[in-house]
Amino acid sequence: MPKPAAIEQRDPAPPCFTAEMTASLPALRSFARSLCRQRDMADDLVQETMVRAWSSRHTFLPGSNFRPWLFTILRNQFYNAVRKRNRLVAWEPEAAERLLVQEPEQETRLHVADIEGALDQLPPGQREMLLLIAGAGLSYEEAAAVADCKLGTVKSRINRGRAGLRAIIEGGEALPDC
């Protein structure tokens, strides 16, 4: 039976790495404060730099300059934060509320049900013309060809159908078919 693979662990940082990180803290704080001009943001930036340096310690080449490596990490973190902050937009609470509110969908379904019910109450000729023109998107001429009637008849049925729909939705009763 094969032996389970050993869990690979990262090498612990050499003692000089930890000592150099600790020795670089005052200079990093000073540089971060000069970039941010705010103490709390600078401290956060230094902390993030230290975390990133520690997690990337395996990429550091021993014998190379440690402080420039740390300062590069800090500088890149700062510019990434600036780019991120520039993408953020400040909203006025009232404007945000108007823009971010989603209209309730259940009312739309109710309106569609009202229109479907009103269409069912219309005479067949008016309903057919409304469905051809408004529903299927045909032109008046195309609807006249489909229904095999004159253009004036199509326009008349559309006009009466719209008025009938309006009357049914507003008042609940259909207009008589003329």
Higher per-residue confidence, 51 vs 13: 51
The answer, yes or no, to whether residue 174 has pLDDT greater than 60, is: no
| CATH value of 15-87 in 1.10.1740.10, 3.40.50.150, 1.10.300.10, 3.40.50.2300 | 1.10.1740.10
CA 55 remoteness from chain centre: 32
Q: Report domain extents, the chain.
A: 15-87, 106-171
CB 174 within 8 A of CB 168: yes
Does the model's pTM come out above 0.75? no
64-76 pLDDT, tens digit per residue, is: 788 888 999 999 9
Q: Which fold has domain 106-171?
A: Arc Repressor Mutant, subunit A (1.10.10)
Mean pLDDT of the chain: 81
Residue 7: the pLDDT is: 42
Radius of gyration of the chain (CA): 36
Interhelix angle 15-36/66-87, rounded to 10 degrees, is 40
**Assigned token pair, 127:** 């309903």
Neighbours of 52 (CB within 10 A): 15
Check pLDDT > 90 for residue 34.
no
